[in-house]
Amino acid sequence: MEKIAIIGFGRFGKVLYRLFKPDFEMILYDADKRAFRSYSLDKKDAVVAHPSLAYQASTVFFAVPIEAFDEVISTHKKYFN
């Protein structure tokens, strides 16, 4: 099954997760681990502790606040293929 990653699990990240989870294996990362509290994930999906692990997915979506976008891209670009 193809893997999709979502960086950021706020409101938009959760919407993306609900849209894609039926058809893809999901890899999720959020700098704030509290984002995953009280949220039921499918057993096939994974929450990773380090952002570099999200880049094993074939597609990565960024669902971070717009004011943090430049910083996130800047710090994550070392993981881009």
What are the tens digits of pLDDT across the range 40-67?
Answer: 999 999 999 999 999 999 999 999 999 9
pLDDT confidence of residue 34:
94
Rounded percentage of the chain residues whose pLDDT exceeds 90: 95
DSSP for 4-59 reads EEEE--SHHHHHHHHHHTTTSEEEEE-SSGGGGTT-PPPTT-EE-SSGGGGGGSSE
Place of tokens 């849209």: 19
Domains in the chain, CATH or no CATH each = 3-79 (3.40.50.720)
Position 81 confidence tier, pLDDT thresholds 50, 70, 90: confident
Position 1 confidence tier, pLDDT thresholds 50, 70, 90: confident
Q: Which of 48, 41, 47, 2 is nearest to 23 (CA)?
A: 2
Residue 72 has pLDDT above 90, yes or no: yes
Q: Which residues contact 68 (CB under 8 A, 6 or more apart)?
A: none
